[in-house]
Structure 1
């Protein structure tokens, strides 16, 4: 073992350690790797930065855009509506359809995004059927993970392995190369969850109480908004006229939080979502949230030149097409506990108003701007649906847990849904037919989405999960560094010496186990980057086809079923399902072993050894 290999292994061990403790962020660690490798002299700048021009990186970015187009046109949410309609009152039918729908949608878009879409749908159906959400959340997560085994573009590790095959001078995988094995695993997963769902019912839990409210009306009731809503007209002599909201400090001085403004125009009424820069005009009707329903404001109304107007029903229901509510939780890695709502700057940063706060299940009353947040708090935010969707991208500090059912009706480009499906179909056809490279097919799909106005440029750039791309780009040089310094050869010789006489099936099982175990501690994308060259070189050392070995790595990288922290998909359902760490171990470890046996048996049938 030469000193250069020792240096590469030291850097790799350091990177993995930082990944495990998550300090700093994984994309920052990847950038540190990009800087460190050239400084050590192991790789030059061109080889270190080659990942930025890797077709797989561009392809993954394009697929993020395609997935966002499916969300913006309402296709993803309509699938949820179909699920609710078809499930009826049967829990078994619901579980089967939920897993099949999540896997199907996840085969062409981010599994994390799919699970985030289906969580409120599943919670709503669970409430209606009076079943524990825990019986649905883990099956949903497992289906999201299995979706990565269905197509080439379903998850980043598949594309990483494909790229490694191409780099080795081979043809790579086709669009449906993984599908036969993935479908078998999906059927296995559905049957397994039907048999083990009784393990997932929390003992002594109140099933209905754990289900978040899923309509605008229910959210307003849960946070006591109905008692605090008012409509106030700005009189012609009002001192508020022609002044910006951030200059008036109505919330701080009077406990009046302006949510939106109804402004009359010649033929229609415009609804303006309130921001700090909103200028009030005489005749405007303010939709406000009071600090307390019992607050005495008659004198304040007179002083401010405001005239109370009748409010026949909640203004959230009246303006559901443009004014939304969402329940927001603080994930474990959030840095916001200890800060006040005023310090969050929701209105200025996210164009949303914090209108409610629940602590230990109880809605807090009074002026909330100076309230310090705690880790268990739930916030209720109000604003444009577009701003609420954008908040979903702030995954490190916010987790948008409950999107009301009305969001299905306000997809920003819902009328473009047929064009989004056409764009998706064109992309899949081009990939399957091989007329153009996969990356070109994805870019054509993105351009079609843009040409049909299913998505705009700003939304497209926001849809790309840049930390994932940086992570891939930063980890790719490790594969070349290990190859150049003899690390890959050393690993291959060790595997061959250990299992060379045991046969190819034992070698495949070993690669699956090693990949799955590494995936417990670092991202599955980084795991695929490290294990793909080892698998291909092992096959070449044994004189066998590299395709089954590479496919085993791709499948194992998606088999992150064993712990709640082994995949973001599992972490998403941890809270809504009220799971403990041991629940994933109890259900996930046996299923991972079953997936391994199925994969080791079927993969050589699809790609002969």
Structure 2
């Protein structure tokens, strides 16, 4: 074992520990590791920077803007209102109407804006029809994940793995290729939620916030605010952070993991906490488009945009999806001049520019709508993957995993790759999990002399299947606060869904992508 292997292994263990303990934002942790590899000569400056100019990473950035344009057009608000039954109904009937449609929407849009818009509307609707909101909010997050695994653009992880495949000199995924297995997983997951969500989820958790102060002062009302990564008070005591001076609002309670705290002095703020604050209408106007809070909800509807704007935004989205799908067809590619490729990057670039110039999203604020930490995480993920290859760590770990399988063949190794990636994604982030797993998958397939494609597909499925903890996926964090769920609620309903995803992936993937 040479010095480079030791450095990379120690750095990866330290990176995992820092990510699990949430010492910094994931992007900065991964960037620190990449700089260490640069200083030790494991990565060249060119290799370190390649991820920052990667087409997949830039596509993810522009998809944030497209999703924001759809959100601001009001199209999603109108969709969820039509999906929710207004008369008295049952949990099962309501879920039948909601869950498949939401999964379909999230196959083409970023999950976070879908959950941010739908969650407060669903919670308010559930209260009006006398149904527990807790039966709908975790399923909402889960179906956005299930929908996302069905297309290339459904989740950033798919685009990351797609770009890594192309970097390795192989043909990446087409728009709907992952749907060959993703649709089976999504259908099975939705059926599971239909049958078991009302049995495994709590029937409601009481909220202590009263309306007395609202009634005394009609200009004030309660707002739920889910703390985001850029909230300056994270890890500070509530008593030591002057929230009212910063935001003009008074904290009435803090919700975390199913517990509600009203004696707040010594409680420390954490990302994902839900604050119930008393404030006026200016609070949401001021902070609604910032990344200080993941979500703000005040019991009122979003202001609807004009019908023309909604339809124009939806038509642009449709053209983008159809254009990228048709543009990948060999017959179309043969007709194009050399140098022009009608792929997702081409069409998402055009869509973003049109949305900006037609002011579907405010072009002056476009940087606010991009999750820069996710982009830095993705860019650094490419460099870490390269370092694992350069140092020989990928080959070493692959040989070890193959040795553990005792020559049982690629099926056992495929299952092992799913389990490894899935554990990573539950503990750290989905993109970092894919980055660590990809070079292992490539090396395992090379050492076995089989096609790497089944291993790449299983990474996509496993990295997105974050159901058992609220920390693995941002949408889980959002619904945890607004639904007042405990950590164990996610384990109880999410672990069987992880197992369902595992079984379908291991059995179906080799039938479609042969070894």
Both structures adopt the same fold (TM-score exceeding 0.5): yes
Q: What's 2:337 paired with?
A: none
Residues 1:358 and 2:252 are matched in the alignment: yes
Q: What's 2:323 paired with?
A: 430
Q: 2:399 aligns with which of 493, 499, 503?
A: 493
Q: What's 1:461 paired with?
A: 367
Residues 1:402 and 2:301 are matched in the alignment: no
Q: 2:309 aligns with which of 404, 411, 416?
A: 416
Aligned runs of 1:107-122 on 2, under 5 Å?
107-122=107-122
What is the alpha-carbon distance in structure 2 between the residues aligned to residue 64 and residue 360 of structure 1? 29
Aligned runs of 1:514-553 on 2, under 5 Å?
514-553=420-459
- 1:567-595 deviation digits (Å, cap 9, x = unpaired): 22222222333322222222222221111
What is the alpha-carbon distance in structure 2 between the residues aligned to residue 522 and residue 137 of structure 1? 22
- 1:274-302 deviation digits (Å, cap 9, x = unpaired): xxxxxxxxxxxxxx77xxxxxxxxxxxxx
Q: CA deviation at 1:489?
A: 1.2
The 3 A distance-change label for structure 1 pair 504 and 403 is farther
- 1:151-185 deviation digits (Å, cap 9, x = unpaired): 11111111111111101111100010111222211
- SS, match of residue 468 in structure 1: helix
Higher relative contact order (CA 8 A, sep 6+): 2
Question: Residue 450 of structure 1 contacts residue 456 of structure 1 at CA under 8 Å; is this kept in 2?
Answer: yes
- 1:127-166 deviation digits (Å, cap 9, x = unpaired): 1232222211221121122122111111111111111110
Question: Residue 175 of structure 1 contacts residue 431 of structure 1 at CA under 8 Å; is this kept in 2?
Answer: yes
The structure whose residues are more often helix, as a share, is 2
Q: CA deviation at 1:385?
A: 5.5
Q: What's 1:594 paired with?
A: 500
What is the alpha-carbon distance in structure 2 between the residues aligned to residue 343 and residue 384 of structure 1? 11
Q: What's 2:99 paired with?
A: 99
What is the alpha-carbon distance in structure 2 between the residues aligned to residue 428 and residue 334 of structure 1? 42
Residue range with higher mean Cα deviation, 127-136 or 336-345 = 336-345
What is the alpha-carbon distance in structure 2 between the residues aligned to residue 456 and residue 470 of structure 1? 23
Aligned runs of 1:51-62 on 2, under 5 Å?
51-62=51-62
What is the alpha-carbon distance in structure 1 between the residues aligned to residue 208 and residue 158 of structure 2? 35
Q: What's 1:383 paired with?
A: 282
Q: What's 1:566 paired with?
A: 472
What is the alpha-carbon distance in structure 2 between the residues aligned to residue 2 and residue 37 of structure 1? 15
Question: Residue 119 of structure 1 contacts residue 137 of structure 1 at CA under 8 Å; is this kept in 2?
Answer: yes
Q: What's 1:267 paired with?
A: none
Q: What's 1:261 paired with?
A: none
Residues 1:228 and 2:217 are matched in the alignment: yes
Question: Residue 91 of structure 2 contacts residue 135 of structure 2 at CA under 8 Å; is this kept in 1?
Answer: no
Q: What's 1:234 paired with?
A: none
Question: Residue 149 of structure 2 contacts residue 182 of structure 2 at CA under 8 Å; is this kept in 1?
Answer: yes
The 3 A distance-change label for structure 1 pair 592 and 87 is farther
Gaps of 5+ in 2: 256-263, 329-340
Residues 1:502 and 2:401 are matched in the alignment: no
- 1:383-422 deviation digits (Å, cap 9, x = unpaired): 175434214x214xxx535243331x344x6641111112
Q: What's 1:302 paired with?
A: none
Question: Residue 161 of structure 1 contacts residue 528 of structure 1 at CA under 8 Å; is this kept in 2?
Answer: yes
What is the alpha-carbon distance in structure 2 between the residues aligned to residue 491 and residue 176 of structure 1? 32
What is the alpha-carbon distance in structure 2 between the residues aligned to residue 328 and residue 69 of structure 1? 22
Q: What's 1:328 paired with?
A: 225
Aligned runs of 1:295-374 on 2, under 5 Å?
326-329=223-226, 333=234, 335=236, 337-339=238-240, 341=242, 344-346=245-247, 353-354=248-249, 357-359=251-253
Q: CA deviation at 1:377?
A: 5.2
The 3 A distance-change label for structure 1 pair 344 and 29 is farther
What is the alpha-carbon distance in structure 1 between the residues aligned to residue 87 and residue 185 of structure 2? 22
Question: Residue 515 of structure 1 contacts residue 531 of structure 1 at CA under 8 Å; is this kept in 2?
Answer: yes
Name the count of aligned residue pairs.
484
Q: CA RMSD in A?
A: 2.7
Residue range with higher mean Cα deviation, 97-106 or 328-337 = 328-337
Q: CA deviation at 1:74?
A: 0.5
Q: CA deviation at 1:551?
A: 0.3
Question: Residue 127 of structure 1 contacts residue 211 of structure 1 at CA under 8 Å; is this kept in 2?
Answer: no
How high is the TM-score relative to the length of structure 2?
Answer: 0.86
